[in-house]
A = this chain, B = another copy of it.
Amino acid sequence: MIPVPHGFDVTLLLWLNLAGTFTFGLSGGLAAVRARLDLFGVLVLAAVVGLAGGITRDLLIGVPPSTFRDWHYLAAVGAAGLVSFFGRPALERRWRLVQLFDAMGLALVCVTGASRALAFGLGPAQAIILGAISSIGGGILRDVLLRQVPTVLRQDLYAVPAVLGAAVVTIAHEAGATHGAFAVLGAGLCFGTRLLGIHRGLSMPLAPSERRDEPPAD
């Protein structure tokens, strides 16, 4: 259901998308295990983080949510929930690997989210916003369900990479270039910025009026 750019293999793209959904699901499932939710709660949180971003995107476009109708995605988040439920210690020992996969998921989802918005005829600003919402919507809902102010709104460089990746495909599309290379470029920029953000501990700035009690944030 996700539009396929020229020069792309459909099956490869589906597998990449499922891998991204799975790693998003892990982030939800692990957060649920840490918050001591029960098995049902772990499965719900995995589904929320894996699917809610794409569902919100589709509702804002005004079409029935596509990933919900495709059992592959439901299977991916179900598996992520079970892996989280039984594998927390093993996953936390491999935390850098999980973060690496999550950055891959972020990169894929922001690019496919923006492409889908463009395919439905939405404007460039909307496409970039929907690319970002696809990537971060699930994590925001995860934090709300676990009664936390969403991390992505407070710290960390998580949304900016998604905006950058979505912007590359959107600008290319507006310039008439729909070749898959721009999708790869957008995903690569998102992935690289995200890893740089983790490595350097980068964050977005606080408002000037809130910076009094601490060294400037930027």
- Smallest CB–CB gap between A39 and chain B, Å? 5
Instruction: Pick from B33, B44, B129: contact of A207, CB below 8 A.
Output: B33
Q: A204-B39, A209-B33 are in contact. Are A145 and B145 (CB under 8 A)?
A: no
- Smallest CB–CB gap between A139 and chain B, Å? 12
- Smallest CB–CB gap between A46 and chain B, Å? 11
Answer whether residue A119 sits at the interface, using C-beta atoms and an 8 A cutoff: no
Check B207–A159 contact: CB distance below 8 A.
no
Instruction: Pick from B65, B122, B153: contact of A145, CB below 8 A.
Output: B153
Instruction: Pick from B62, B68, B140, B210: contact of A33, CB below 8 A.
Output: B210
- The digit string for A140-164, where 1 denotes a CB below 8 A from any CB of B, is 1000111111101111000110000
Pick the most buried of A45, A89, A122, A150: most chain B CB atoms within 10 A of its CB.
A150
- Smallest CB–CB gap between A59 and chain B, Å? 6
User: Once the chains are docked, how many angstroms separate the CA of A32 from the CA of B126?
Assistant: 22
Answer whether residue A38 sits at the interface, using C-beta atoms and an 8 A cutoff: yes
Instruction: Specify the chain B residue showing the minimal Cβ separation from A30.
Output: B207
Answer whether residue A123 sits at the interface, using C-beta atoms and an 8 A cutoff: yes
Q: A38-B203, A38-B206 are in contact. Are A125 and B45 (CB under 8 A)?
A: no
Instruction: Specify the chain B residue showing the minimal Cβ separation from A140.
Output: B145
Answer whether residue A18 sits at the interface, using C-beta atoms and an 8 A cutoff: no
Check A149–B147 contact: CB distance below 8 A.
yes
Residues of chain A at the chain B interface (Cβ within 8 Å) = 32-33, 35-42, 44-45, 55, 59-65, 68-69, 71, 74, 84-86, 88-89, 122-123, 125-126, 129, 140, 144-150, 152-155, 159-160, 203-210, 217
